[in-house]
Amino acid sequence: KPKYKEVILLHYYQQLKVNEIAAVLGAPQSTVSIRLRRAREALKKRLEGGPNEDL
C-alpha cells in the first residue's frame, strides 16, 4: 500500500525519525508508528514468500 511504502522510504532512505515523519505527513506519531510496524510486517511476509496483500 502506498501509505506503507511512504513511511518505509522516509524512515530508511531519508533517515527520518518517527516524529519527523509525522511532521512531514501531518499525521500523529502513533499513526506513523503503526504504519511503520505494519509495513515491516508486510515486507517480512513478502520476503518470506507469503501472501502479498499489504504492499
Domain ranges for the chain = 2-48
Contact of 31 with 19, CB cutoff 8 Å: no
Please say if the pLDDT value at position 40 is more than 60. Answer: yes
Q: Does position 3 have pLDDT exceeding 70, yes or no?
A: yes
Confidence at 50, pLDDT banded by 50, 70, 90 = low
Q: For the chain, what's the residue count? A: 55
Q: Taking the model in full, what pTM does it have?
A: 0.81
